[in-house]
Amino acid sequence: GERGRLVRSRLGRTCPPPSAGWRELTAAGDGEGEEPGDRRGAAAQALRSRGRFTRNFVVQATAADWALALLGSLRRRLTALGAASAGPGAPRLVFFQHDEVIVHTPAGLAGEVAEAVHAAAGEARRLLFGDTPVVFPMEIAVVDRYADAK
């Protein structure tokens, strides 16, 4: 973080290293020939900024790791539901962005798909964080049109 080291998410995504300019500024925080405190102030600000960036990186990258695990588990579960379905069509993942997952499914499988989403969220939680009591809530809306999901 503030020391210029790399930080990683739960699954190993690594933040980019600080730039050469950042290293130069923070290494020479007591520059000569400048007004007292100018260089030190800029160096301290750069250190704090890097610290904020790396703390946020760990949170956001770990959330992306969790989403990746969720999607992998959900795809596997949807494939199994489609193979076991006697009716027309199979459930399929059609959209994912940030914290939204949209699955298109025959109405008769909607309940099982909702269960699959919850199960996939639980599996992703256990994969990344082990046996923790922390729950990652997944609000599910079963609708006839995508626009009605809120």
Nearest CA among 96, 107, 105, 104 for reference residue 70: 96
Is 88's pLDDT higher than 80? no
Asked if residue 20 is part of any domain, the answer here is no
Closest CA to 91 of 123, 116, 124, 121: 116
**Residue 144 falls within a domain, yes or no?**
yes
Torsion of CA 11, 15, 17, 23, to 10 degrees: -120
DSSP lists the bridge partners of residue 95 as 102
Q: For residue 34, what pLDDT is reported?
A: 52
- The tokens describing 100, both together, are 């939204």
Run of H or E residues at 54: helix 38-84
Query: For residue 85, what are the domain limits?
Result: 64-148
How many Å is the maximal CA-CA distance in the chain?
A: 80
Could you tell me the two tokens for 119? 């199960």
Total domains, the chain: 1
Q: Is residue 132 part of a domain?
A: yes
Structure tokens at 90: 């199979």
- Segment 66-72 mean pLDDT: 96
- Mean pLDDT of all residues in 124-138: 90
For residue 38, what pLDDT is reported?
66
* 3-class DSSP assignment, residue 121: helix
CA-based nearest residue to 140, from 132, 131, 150: 150
What pLDDT band is residue 33 in, cutting at 50, 70 and 90?
very low
Q: Is residue 101 part of a domain?
A: yes
- Examine residue 136 and state whether it is found in any structural domain, yes or no: yes
